[in-house]
Amino acid sequence: MNLDPHHIVKRPVITEESQIQLGKGNQYTFRVNPKANKIQIREAIEALFPNIRVIRVNTMNYEGKMRRQFTQRGAGRKPDWKKAIVTLRPGDKIELI
């Protein structure tokens, strides 16, 4: 799979837990393409944010939640998605907000 870095990294995840990880371990959380592997995620982050070196990438796959739909079909579901926690070397910083 050869994708553009903007198609691999979809958006940052800004939650209370991700802000705690940012303060403790210089870790940033992103929502990524479910078909991307850790090497592609590392290369995409380093391409999108110059002068940033990625030390480690941890990924998690999430199953989409069941949602009720008000049609004849009944229940539906949200799409599956993937989260990546990217650890940067000390001193590196990404301005998300």
Considering the domain boundaries, does residue 9 fall inside one? Answer: yes
Considering the domain boundaries, does residue 96 fall inside one? Answer: no
Per-residue model confidence as pLDDT tens digits over 50-71? 999 999 999 999 999 988 777 6
Residues in the chain, overall count = 97
End-to-end CA distance of the chain: 30
pLDDT of residue 26: 92
pLDDT of residue 1: 63
**Structural domains counted in the chain:** 1
Confidence of residue 73 (pLDDT cuts 50, 70, 90): low
- Domain with 42 in it: 5-88
Considering the domain boundaries, does residue 29 fall inside one? Answer: yes
Considering the domain boundaries, does residue 93 fall inside one? Answer: no
Considering the domain boundaries, does residue 78 fall inside one? Answer: yes
Domain at 31, CATH number: 3.30.70.330
**Sequence-distant (≥ 6) Cβ neighbours of residue 73 within 8 angstroms:** none
Q: Which amino acid is at 45?
A: I
Considering the domain boundaries, does residue 30 fall inside one? Answer: yes
Considering the domain boundaries, does residue 97 fall inside one? Answer: no
pLDDT of residue 71: 65
DSSP 14-41: --HHHHHHHHHH-EEEEEE-TT--HHHH
